[in-house]
């Protein structure tokens, strides 16, 4: 199959190898086949909801990308968002100068940027599927849905099942989930088709407004809203301010008291502007091994959303 190639450049420090290691360690994507050199995945492009296969490899100053069909500006922008290459990261390195804790974390994972879900739509579905479940179990369920209702793309001889687009999931039944979750997924599908659950819409709003709008969607609470905005739409400067797991990591890192109010975490994050999402990602990534630390597999496998 002929692949269509293009390049993406990075403004500021970027280490594709670090991104690839994170994908390999993160339970939600650890099942993706990997040879340690390329990131390969299939998804329904937000630009037209049609399936596309993507291969990403390291290149001087950025990455080289090959896709299974021709791409335009919109899809190239989607791939850039997935790797956080749509943001100038030049200023991120300077944040560590005034924050020794963040500075130390950055030195141990130089060039690591957030790796996002393939689309806000897919991140929203994940947020519903993983509720009251482990990430490892949720990953298997999501894969089964992709195999049953999604298309297939072939990249370098490997077949990848693509998670179905909103219109398909809206009409699908028997997803293997509780009835309430299936109803929530159909509600999210309608929101995606209405243009609400899209990168363009969510990134056009101030983070606080985007989070409020997401919390109004079916099955989406404070944690899920932050996940969709930050790891789905790739918003670089958002801090949900209501994530117990992140709070626990920050308490340990900064020596905050157990009863620290939410305002203390928001105040801490103010120093990370305009990269609050990126800084938070580094703290989370360290627990999966992507930040250069030993991964706690048991904790990662058993974690469930609040």
Taking only the tens place, the pLDDT of each residue in 70-104 is 999 999 999 999 999 999 999 998 887 889 999 99
Report residue 63's pLDDT band, with 50, 70 and 90 as the boundaries.
very high
DSSP 8-state assignment for residue 85:
-
Report residue 295's pLDDT band, with 50, 70 and 90 as the boundaries.
very low
Report residue 288's pLDDT band, with 50, 70 and 90 as the boundaries.
low
Contact 226, 306 (CB under 8 A): no
End-to-end CA distance of the chain: 44
Burial profile 106-138: b = 16 or more Cβ within 10 angstroms, e = fewer: beebebbbbbbbbbbbbbbbbbbbbbebebbeb
Written as six digits, the tokens of 48 are 């037209």
Contact 283, 253 (CB under 8 A): yes
What Rg do the C-alpha atoms of the chain give, in angstroms?
Answer: 18
SS3 state at 73? helix
Asked whether the bond before 213 is cis by omega within 30 degrees of 0, the reply is: no
Give the alpha-carbon dihedral of 257, 258, 263, 269, to 10 degrees: 70
Q: Is the pLDDT of residue 277 over 50?
A: yes
According to DSSP, the residues that pair with 64 across neighbouring strands are 7, 57
Please calculate the CA angle 135-146-192 and round it to the nearest 5 degrees: 85
Q: Is the pLDDT of residue 291 over 70?
A: no
Using left for φ > 0, alpha for ψ between -120 and 50, and beta otherwise, residue 62 falls in left
259 burial type by CB count under 10 A (0-12 exposed, 13-18 middle, 19+ buried): exposed
* Mean pLDDT of the residues in the chain: 89
Looking at residue 240, its pLDDT comes to: 81
Q: Is the pLDDT of residue 293 over 70?
A: no
According to DSSP, the residues that pair with 25 across neighbouring strands are none
CATH of span 4-110+118-232 = 1.10.340.30
Please calculate the CA angle 275-79-73 and round it to the nearest 5 degrees: 110
Q: Is the pLDDT of residue 254 over 80?
A: yes
* Residue 228 host element (H or E): none
Written as six digits, the tokens of 110 are 């130089």
Contact 250, 238 (CB under 8 A): no
- The C-alpha atoms of residue 119 and residue 210 are separated, in whole angstroms, by 16
């Amino acid at each position: 199959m002929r692949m269509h190639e293009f390049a993406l450049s990075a403004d500021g420090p970027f280490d594709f190898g670090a991104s690839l290691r994170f994908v390999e360690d993160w339970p939600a994507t650890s099942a993706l086949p990997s040879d340690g050199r390329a990131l390969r995945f299939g998804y329904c492009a937000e630009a037209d909801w049609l399936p596309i296969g993507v291969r990403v490899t390291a290149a001087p100053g950025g990455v080289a990308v090959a896709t299974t069909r021709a791409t335009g500006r919109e899809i190239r922008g989607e791939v850039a968002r997935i790797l956080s290459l749509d943001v100038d990261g030049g200023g991120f390195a300077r944040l560590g100068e005034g924050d020794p804790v963040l500075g130390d974390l950055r030195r141990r994972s130089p060039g690591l940027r957030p790796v996002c879900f393939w689309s806000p739509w897919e991140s929203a579905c994940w947020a519903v599927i993983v509720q009251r479940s482990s990430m490892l179990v949720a990953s298997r369920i999501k894969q089964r849905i992709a195999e049953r209702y999604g298309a297939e793309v072939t990249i370098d001889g490997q077949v990848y099942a693509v998670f179905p687009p909103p219109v398909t999931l809206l009409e699908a039944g028997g997803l293997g989930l509780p009835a309430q979750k299936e109803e929530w997924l159909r509600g999210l599908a309608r929101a995606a088709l209405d243009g609400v659950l899209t990168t363009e819409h969510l990134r056009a709003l101030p983070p606080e407004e985007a989070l409020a709008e997401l919390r109004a969607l079916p099955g989406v609470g404070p944690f899920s809203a932050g996940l969709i905005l930050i790891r789905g739409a790739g918003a670089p400067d958002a801090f949900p301010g209501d994530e117990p797991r992140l709070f626990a990591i920050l308490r340990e890192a900064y020596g905050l008291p157990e009863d620290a109010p939410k305002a203390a975490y928001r105040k801490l994050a103010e120093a990370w502007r305009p990269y609050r999402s990126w800084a938070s990602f580094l703290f989370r990534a360290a627990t999966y091994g992507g930040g250069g630390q030993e991964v706690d597999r048991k904790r990662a496998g058993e974690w469930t959303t609040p």
